Amino acid sequence: MTETRHVAHRDQPAEVSPLNDYRLYVSMASPISLRAIANARRILQEAYPGAHQLTVLNIAENVDAARADQIIVSPTLLRLAPLPQRRFIGDLSDLGRLRKAFGLLPSPGAA
């Protein structure tokens, strides 16, 4: 796996809804990484329906990119845009910590 992209296309013009750009570094052999991929897709779709991009990179196949982003553990989710950049390490199952770290609003009906 060199790169898997999940892009939710925007229904609104770019001026109205800025793109939220995320990069998730994983180790494909890890069940935790597989859980992180599923959680990231779900969380970002809930938080930014139609206005986000998630790039999933396998560290073993993207060593230079991981080194440039200073990734030392997987899974690691980076928020590239909007600034400031943020990172979250783990399988993304702790929604409270993730929302706080990235400033995400709770989904409707969430406790």
pLDDT of residue 8: 40
Please give the residue that has the higher pLDDT: either 36 or 107: 36
Could you tell me the CATH number of the domain that includes residue 21? 3.40.30.10
Q: pTM (2 decimals)?
A: 0.76
Q: Within a domain: residue 99?
A: no
Burial of residue 92, with CB atoms counted within 10 A of its CB: 0-12 exposed, 13-18 middle, 19 or more buried: buried
Q: Within a domain: residue 107?
A: no
Whole-angstrom Cα distance, residue 81 to residue 18?
9
Whole-angstrom Cα distance, residue 89 to residue 91?
7
What amino acid occupies position 52? H
Q: What is the pLDDT averaged over residues 89-95?
A: 87
Domain count, the chain: 1
pLDDT of residue 30: 86
Q: Which domain holds residue 15?
A: 4-90
**CB hemisphere CA count around 35 (13 angstroms):** 10
